[in-house]
């Protein structure tokens, strides 16, 4: 399954539209006024399906992932020199990126690829292509991409 993740050009808060290969909207992400990033994810029927919330006052960036009111895990930036590395305490997944931090591979405990994320260059806004092996993992993979993008935004603003 392929998803196209595009940040909206004119928006006061982080807002994104996520499309499938045919251009149909799968999810809409709306930033909320909060300390740190708080991103609400809505399905194509405008039902809230998830939240990515930044925990503030931590040494390295940390984001909590929610399905409804239930916290299903966290994404922490780990200290590393050349390649961005994230610790995920959800599903046993791991994320590693290239030197510039724009392309990621998400793997499971066995090392099998769950998803790959590629940032498209030369766009007016952040645009990512997310290839997910199993469509049932699409929402969680999207939540990870949102957390990583928000973390990179926090790094460039801080």
pLDDT digits (tens, 9 = 90+) for 21-66: 999 999 999 987 666 789 999 999 999 999 999 987 766 778 999 9
Domain containing residue 109: CATH number: 2.40.160.200
Distances (CA, A) of 65 to 23, 59, 89, 110, 121: 26, 19, 10, 22, 27
Of all residues in the chain, what percent carry a pLDDT higher than 90? 43
| Of the listed ranges 57-61, 71-75, 126-130, 142-146, the one predicted with least confidence | 57-61
Mean pLDDT to the nearest integer, 120-133:
82
| Distance from the Cα of residue 58 to its chain's centroid | 19
Q: Which domain holds residue 117?
A: 2-157
Q: Cα–Cα–Cα angle for 73, 23, 75, nearest 5°?
A: 15
- C-beta of residue 27 within 8 angstroms of C-beta of residue 18: yes
State the Cα–Cα distance between residues 147 and 124, nearest whole angstrom.
Answer: 20
Mean pLDDT, the chain, rounded, equals 83
Mean pLDDT to the nearest integer, 11-28:
84
pTM (2 d.p.): 0.85
Please state the domain count of the chain.
1
Mean pLDDT to the nearest integer, 7-27:
79
């Amino acid at each position: 399954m392929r998803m196209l993740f595009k940040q909206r050009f004119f928006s006061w808060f982080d807002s994104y539209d996520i499309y499938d290969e045919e251009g149909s909207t799968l999810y809409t992400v709306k930033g909320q006024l909060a300390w740190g990033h708080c991103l609400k994810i809505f399905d194509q029927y405008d039902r809230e399906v998830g939240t990515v919330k930044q925990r503030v006052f931590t040494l390295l960036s940390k984001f909590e992932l929610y399905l409804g009111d239930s916290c299903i895990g966290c994404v922490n930036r780990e200290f590393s020199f050349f390649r961005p590395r994230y610790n995920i305490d959800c599903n046993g997944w791991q994320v590693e990126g290239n030197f510039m931090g724009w392309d990621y591979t998400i793997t499971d405990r066995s090392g099998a690829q769950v998803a790959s994320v590629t940032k498209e260059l030369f766009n007016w806004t952040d645009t990512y292509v997310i290839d997910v092996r199993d469509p049932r993992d699409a929402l969680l993979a999207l939540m990870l991409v949102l957390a990583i993008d928000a973390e990179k935004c926090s790094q460039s603003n801080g």
